[in-house]
Amino acid sequence: MLIGVLSTNASPGATTTAMALSSVWPSPVVVVDADPSGGDILAAAGPVVEADREHNLLELMRLGRQGQIPQVLDSQITTLPSGVPVVAGLAHPGQAGGVPWTDLAEGLRAVTHRDVLVDLGRWGVPYAPAPVVRACDLLLLVVRTQLRGLRRAQRILPLIREDLDRHNPGGGSLGLMVVNDHGPYAVADIVRSANLNVPVFGELPLDARTAAVFSEGATPGRHLDRSPLARALPTVVRTIGQLAQQQRALGTRAPLLRQQPMTPTPVPRQPVEVPAPGVQLREMARGTRRLTAVPSTPTGTENS
Ligand SMILES: Nc1ncnc2c1ncn2[C@@H]1O[C@H](COP(=O)(O)OP(=O)(O)OP(=O)(O)O)[C@@H](O)[C@H]1O
Ligand SMILES: [Mg+2]
C-alpha cells in the first residue's frame, strides 16, 4: 500500500504524522521522504545518523532505475532511534527538479514487502512530486483546526481533487488527518462548516512533547505510550490501514502516471463558513481568535 501525507503551509505536520503513524504500524513499513523542499526526516535521528547521508532518495532512484526500486528499497533504509525505518530525502530544494518522480511513483506502487508512507511535503510547491501524489492509494492532507489552515485546505483541496480525477480516476482516496487544537467544536463540525467536502480519515491531538520525539528526535519520556498522541495512534493507524487496503483492492487500474504534467485550474474563492451559533467570525478573520466558540451541541470528547 502506498499512503501519502501532505501538508499546507498554514498547517504543518506532514513529517511528524507520517513518522508517528509508522511508529505503531502493524506490518513492515517505511517512510520515504519525498518532500521537494528538502528532507528533514533525519533530524529525528540525532547527529550520528545525520552523518549517514549516503542512503537516501537520490541513491534509491539511481540504484532503482529500470524498475528496480522495490528490490533496492531496503538498501536505502535508515532506522531511526524510534525504530521507524526511513529513506532520507533531498538535501535541498534545488535537487527536486532532477528527481524522476514518475519513476518513483511507479516504483513505490510496486513495493509489496512493506507498506510505504510517503512524506510529500507541501502541496503545490515547485517540482512537487505530483506523480507520487497521484499514485497513492490513500492521501492524507494534514490540517489543524485553526482558521488559517482550514482556509488553505479549502483552497487547495479542489485542486488536488481535480488533479486526481484527471490522472487517477476512481483511484486514490483523499481525506484529512486533522490535528485537533482542542477547541470545543467537534472536528467533524469544523470540517463540515469550512465546506472541505472530504472525509476525515483520522484525528490526532495537539501534543507538542510527543510530536517532538518524531520531528526533532527529542528524548521520549518514560510515559510516552500514555501521551495523548501515542494513545490516539492505534485507532488512526487501524482506520488508515483498512482504508488503504480497500482502496488498493478496489483500484481496477493503475493511475495514468505518464500523462501530462499538472495544470492547476483556478478555483473560485469560497467564503469560509463556520458554525453560526456563538462564533465570532470577525475576530477569527482578524486572527485574534481561533475556532474555539462554544458549539450549539456539545460533543463531550473534544475538550478532553
Ligand atoms: N500532533 C502534533 N502536536 C503538536 N505538535 C505537532 C504535531 N504534529 C506536528 N507538530 C509539530 O509541528 C512542527 C512541524 O511539524 P512537521 O515538521 O511534521 O511539519 P511539516 O508539515 O513536515 O513541515 P515542513 O513543511 O517544514 O516539512 C514540529 O515542531 C512538530 O513537532
Ligand atoms: Mg516535513
Domain boundaries, the chain: 2-258
Coil, strand or helix at 200: strand
End-to-end Cα distance, the chain: 33
Atom of ligand 1 minimally distant from the CA of 119: 22
Q: Is 229 in the pocket of ligand 1 (CB under 6 A)?
A: yes
Confidence of residue 48 (pLDDT cuts 50, 70, 90): low
Q: What is the mean pLDDT of residues 188-206?
A: 87
Q: Is 106 in the pocket of ligand 1 (CB under 6 A)?
A: no
Q: Is 44 in the pocket of ligand 1 (CB under 6 A)?
A: no
Q: Using alpha carbons only, how large is the chain's radius of gyration in Å? A: 19
- Residue nearest ligand 1's atom 8 by CA: 13
The CATH class of the 2-258 domain is alpha beta
User: Which of 6, 16, 125 for a ligand 1 pocket mutation test, highest count of atoms within 8 Å of Cβ?
Assistant: 16
Confidence of residue 104 (pLDDT cuts 50, 70, 90): very high
d(CA 137, CA 94): 28
Percent of the chain at pLDDT exceeding 70: 79
Q: Which of 176-190, 196-210, 257-271 has the highest mean pLDDT?
A: 196-210
Atom of ligand 1 minimally distant from the CA of 215: 31
Structure-block grid coordinates of residue 273: 463558513
Q: What is the mean pLDDT of residues 27-33?
A: 97
Q: What is the pLDDT of residue 286?
A: 37
Q: What is the pLDDT of residue 31?
A: 97
- Residue nearest ligand 1's atom 4 by CA: 208
Q: What is the pLDDT of residue 76?
A: 95
Nearest Cα to Cα of residue 129 among 158, 107, 112, 153: 107
Q: What is the pLDDT of residue 259?
A: 55
d(CA 88, CA 94): 16
Confidence of residue 287 (pLDDT cuts 50, 70, 90): very low
